[in-house]
Chains A and B, each alone.
Chain A
Amino acid sequence: DIQMTQSPSSLSASVGDRVTITCRASRSISNYLNWYQQKPGKAPNLLISGASTLQSGVPSRFSGSGSGTDFTLTISSLQPEDFATYYCQQSYTTLPLSFGGGTKVEI
């Protein structure tokens, strides 16, 4: 199984800050890496697929990069609606598909 490790597990930031979240895979997953945002009481929402492809409707302040084992999600200027938990997920091996432990972005 491929293990996904996110850091930090939580962070405090202010509106306007640049925020970076990292995700590391236990072995190379090429660019088969997705990022989701989850707000309390809601299902996860796909932000970025294929490590760097922004989904339709997602603000351009979100960006993703990386390949192999190391990946980052960057929010260039944090907005009030961005306070949420973010998860990475690998789709390189589908048995099983796996998620990182999450990063909670707090004020």
Chain B
Amino acid sequence: QVQLVQSGAEVKKPGASVKVSCETSGYIFTDYYIHWLRQAPGHAPEWMGWIHPNSGATNYAQKFQGRVTMTRDTSITTASMALSRLRSDDTAMYYCARSNLKISDFDFWGQGTLVTVSS
């Protein structure tokens, strides 16, 4: 069965960086984009960007340009997202999710990784 399993919760200080991983299984990794989204408490999910599994090409939401880096390792079918220069308003649940290559919808999601930014 399709699974996306994310790394554990993180607590970071303002100005630091965080890296969250997403280990996938149960499907052909190179056939689906991996997206990263985040959700602050009481808010809707917010799309951060995607990575093409084959080429490694990325597309980031303008809001995160310059602070986010998405990578993947096809040998271990794992994607990662790093966010730098963290601020308190980056505190959120971060999710990876997959979509087909038409980017029609997010059909499977990771369980989420809570990132808390606090001094």
Which residues on A are within 8 Å of B, measured CB to CB? 32, 34, 36, 43-46, 49-50, 55, 87, 89, 91, 94-102
Q: How large is the interface on B (under 10, 10 to 19, 20 to 34, 35 or more residues)?
A: 20 to 34
> Assuming A44-B45, A96-B62, is B111 touching A50 (CB within 8 A)?
no
CB of B103 within 8 A of CB of A94, answer yes
Distance to closest chain B CB from A53 (angstroms): 9
Given the complex of chains A and B, what is the CA–CA distance between A96 and B38 in angstroms? 14
Given the complex of chains A and B, what is the CA–CA distance between A94 and B52 in angstroms? 13
- The binding surface of chain B is classed by DSSP as loop
Q: Which residues of B contact A46 (CB under 8 A)?
A: 105-107
- The binding surface of chain A is classed by DSSP as loop
Which of B35, B44, B50, B109 is the one whose CB lies under 8 Å from A87?
Answer: B44
Q: Which residues of B contact A89 (CB under 8 A)?
A: 45, 105-106
Closest 3 CB pairs between A and B? A43-B109, A97-B47, A49-B105
CB of B107 within 8 A of CB of A95, answer no
Q: Which residues of B contact A96 (CB under 8 A)?
A: 47, 61-62
Which of A49, A91, A94, A99 is the one whose CB lies under 8 Å from B44?
Answer: A99
Given the complex of chains A and B, what is the CA–CA distance between A21 and B107 in angstroms? 21
Given the complex of chains A and B, what is the CA–CA distance between A44 and B107 in angstroms? 9
Q: Which residues of A contact B103 (CB under 8 A)?
A: 91, 94, 97
* Nearest-neighbor residue (CB-CB) of A94 within chain B: B103
CB of A44 within 8 A of CB of B105, answer no
CB of A34 within 8 A of CB of B46, answer no
Given the complex of chains A and B, what is the CA–CA distance between A40 and B65 in angstroms? 30
14 A–B pairs (Cβ distance < 8 Å), ordered by A: A34-B105, A36-B106, A43-B110, A43-B111, A44-B106, A44-B109, A45-B109, A49-B104, A94-B59, A96-B62, A97-B35, A97-B47, A97-B103, A99-B46
